[in-house]
Amino acid sequence: MTEPASKGWQRPNIYDVAKIAGVSHMTVSRVLNEHPNIRQTTRERVLQVIEEMNYTRSSIARALATRRAMRIGVLVDSPVQYGPNSTLRALESAAREAGYSISAVSISDDGGLRVDEGVVELVTQGVDALCVIAPRESALDLLGQRVEGIPTLIIKSEPHAGMHTVGVDQARGAELAVAHLVSLGHRSIAHVAGPLDWFDARARNEAWHATLVRGDLPLSEPFVGDWTSDFGYELGSSGELAGATAVFAANDQMALGVIHGLATRGIRVPADVSVVGVDDLPDARHFLPPLTTVRQDFAALGTRALQLVVDAIGGETAEQHEMIEPTLVVRDSTAAVRADVGAPSHRF
């Protein structure tokens, strides 16, 4: 049996290796599967051909059998931020376990590579699929037709028309944080939001607001930050949080800054003000006090994202959207509201 001739360039398969090595395709298969009844000279000749085709031993069998590159292209917006960076590392780990490799390209709308340019760069590398870690709305504006015909998944907590999506349930995480503060008797709960062009920041902000409405609690405008501890510090030390008995910060770094800023004004956490963050940074348990926070399971996110990408490579066309459940980690930065706290003032 011979492999039908094909038009144009295609990745080599098991028949191509057999032809160059001068053996049958069954012999190549036996070499790949380390069958003992193969002459050493034959084994070496087949392995030499495989090496010349620049395939790694971990993915050679599937790559040769399917003509796939066993490589997934990843577009990463804002890779220095904890969430996108952790998602990329989790995806790399899951891909490695599944025998895939990752080609990552950083994208930006502030002078760096744009999404559409990043897609072209990865497609020219012959990737089997694309995974887009695009936490900002602006990063997806140029995706459009560039990914037509390429299996594509977007990491975000909201569905995206025509795309597979998976993300941590950001609304649920915010609800857990605010509900925890409410259970401790807090009614004046301020929110330090991330930039609201970020999907996750917007989802957390909306869930904070909705949870206050459901609990018939006083409403205020969020303090919109930039994810940095410096912003949290400036806010905490400015006096603008006066009247709030609790603060829900959209990430742990801003929460850290808030705690530091409040301390400069003699305001104690949690005796005077409770603080909750999001992410559960590796150092969050070593903050002073150790930080109550919403943990995002990036390992589960990476594993599920990789599985959806592999399913898409295999021909799964039905649009899929899945959510990873966050968890609340209660530490020492939250406590019951003090009985002597008077009626708070609010900034509207």
> How far is the C-alpha of 297 from the C-alpha of 93, rounded, in Å?
14
Task: Average the pLDDT over 204-226 and give the result.
Answer: 97
Same domain, 85 and 60: no
Same domain, 40 and 108: no
Q: Measured in Å, how far apart are the chain's first and last C-alpha atoms?
A: 77
Same domain, 23 and 92: no
The residue range of the domain holding 18 is: 14-66
- On the question of pLDDT at 290 being above 90, the answer is yes
Give ∠ CA 56-57-60 in degrees, rounded to 5: 80
- On the question of pLDDT at 38 being above 50, the answer is yes
- On the question of pLDDT at 61 being above 80, the answer is no
* Residue 56: band (very low, low, confident or very high) from pLDDT cuts 50, 70, 90: very low
Question: How many domains is the chain built from?
Answer: 3
Q: Nearest to residue 287, comparing CAs of 329, 337, 336, 224?
A: 329
Same domain, 86 and 200: no
Q: Which two tokens stand for residue 298?
A: 């990036």
pTM over 0.75: yes
Q: Is 305 within a domain?
A: yes
Sequential DSSP letters for 299-317:
HHHHHHHHHHHHHHHTT--
Q: Where are the alpha helices (DSSP H) in 108-186?
A: 115-123, 170-183
Q: Which two tokens stand for residue 129?
A: 């699929």
- The CATH number of residue 269's host domain is 3.40.50.2300
- C-beta of residue 50 within 8 angstroms of C-beta of residue 16: no
Ramachandran class of 201: left when φ > 0, alpha when ψ lies in -120 to 50, beta otherwise? alpha
